[in-house]
Amino acid sequence: MTVESLGVGVIGFGLMGFRHAESYAQYPRARLLAVADMQPAARARAQEVFGVAAFADFRDLLALPGIEAVSICLPDNLHREAALGTLAAGKHLLLEKPLAMCVEEGEEICQAAARSGCHVMVGHLLRFDPRYALAREAFQSGRLGELVHVYARRNSAVLGPTRYGPNVSLAWHVTVHDIDLIRWITGEEVVRVTAEGSARVLARAGQTDSLAALLKLASGAFAVVESCWVLPEAYGSGLDAQLEIVGTHGVLEVKGLDQGLRIADTNGWTYPDTMRHARYGGRVWGLLREEVEQFVDAVLGGKPPLVPCVDALAALRVVQAIDRALAEERPIAMAG
């Protein structure tokens, strides 16, 4: 029996682009045909590792016969042009989060997506984590009762902002994960935002080191969201993430630091990634592979994507309000 497959390309061949390409290359229902990246070294690596066509201009990739869908894995601030070009070309789109770096660009992408009729999914990776999926199922079942409060933390090493550069911000790149999770798991909309932040390590780069946001939810419950990306480099892959949801009848917790494996040597403890993008036996496993495969299956099966454009846009609106609350040092009411 012939397996139906989808011809795909990857735009932006850095760390995440390579991981998307790996996942496509190992999935029988996808055919990785090309990558696009402005850097010659990245294009050479794609040709060497995957044996695919490599272009400097993403438009040449979109024009390649057989391309039906693409992943866009460009830096956050470069999503708009490539996303609009992809949709104008009639290609299905898996766009790395955040959707865009401002609400206006996010709206433009979502409007283009609606006009195109293409499948568009935004890569909010944590929706593919079975721990968060089961947390959502538990909360939505009613077993915790009515929502009382949510606490979410996502703290990581300074390696992140050092690698990403000045065009990526803490709130838009990190906090957006937990905003999306809170909305998705609880079904609650944010109606007011208050926030505080500090900048010491990244002050010269004009970046926020750490922030805490208090979100008033439509039901009257609240959420506290903590984000930091200046932990010591030695913290390594130990992403300190936590989610706690308290209801009138119970509580649930998701712990993200220890993914089931800890290794100690002369340099101390490390927490290898066993969930997001792990390699074993020559294959990749984890949430990113699940995300890519679900995107392919949604396109081939004509099913709605797990992370629609409108959800990603709603998360951006909250993140923008957090930025305003930090800048203006006052609570920000959400429109509508």
Total residue count of the chain as it appears in this document: 336
Q: What is the pLDDT of residue 163?
A: 78
pLDDT of residue 162: 79
Q: What is the pLDDT of residue 264?
A: 87
Is 208:218 a contact under the CB 8 Å cutoff? no
**Tokens representing 201?**
């390590």
- 122: exposed, middle or buried (C-beta count within 10 Å: 0-12, 13-18, 19+)? buried
Q: Are 99 and 316 in contact (CB under 8 A)?
A: yes
Q: What is the pLDDT of residue 1?
A: 39
Q: Between 3.30.470.10, 3.40.50.620, 3.40.50.920, 3.30.360.10, what CATH number should domain 127-276+315-333 receive?
A: 3.30.360.10
Tell me which architecture the domain covering 6-125+283-308 has in CATH: 3-Layer(aba) Sandwich (3.40)
Helices 15-25 and 40-50: crossing angle in degrees, nearest 10, is: 20
Instruction: Please report the pLDDT score of residue 237 as a whole number.
Output: 63
Q: How far is residue 335's CA from residue 310's CA, in Å, rounded to a whole number?
A: 16
Give domain limits for the chain. Answer: 6-125+283-308, 127-276+315-333
pLDDT at position 270 is 79
Could you list the pLDDT tens digit for every one of the 336 residues in the chain? 345 999 999 999 999 999 999 999 999 999 999 999 999 999 999 999 999 999 999 999 999 999 999 999 999 999 999 999 999 999 999 999 999 999 999 999 999 999 999 999 999 999 999 999 999 999 999 999 999 999 999 999 888 887 777 778 999 999 999 999 999 999 999 999 999 999 999 998 889 999 999 999 999 999 999 999 999 887 766 789 999 999 999 999 999 877 788 888 887 787 888 888 888 888 888 999 999 999 999 999 999 999 999 999 999 999 999 999 999 999 999 986
Q: What is the 3-state secondary structure (H, E, C) of the chain?
A: CCCCCEEEEEECCCHHHHHHHHHHHCCCCEEEEEEECCCHHHHHHHHHHHCCEEECCHHHHHCCCCCCEEEECCCHHHHHHHHHHHHHCCCEEEEECCCCCCHHHHHHHHHHHHHHCCCEEEECHHHHCHHHHHHHHHHHCCCCCCEEEEEEEEEEECHHHHHHCCCCCHHHHHHHHHHHHHHHHHCCCEEEEEEEEECCCCHHHCCCCEEEEEEEECCCCEEEEEEEEEECHHHCCCCEEEEEEEECCCEEEEECCCCCCCEEECCEEECCCCCCCEEECCEEECHHHHHHHHHHHHHHHCCCCCCCHHHHHHHHHHHHHHHHHHHHCCCEECCC
Phi-psi label, residue 281: left if phi above 0, alpha if psi -120 to 50, beta otherwise = left
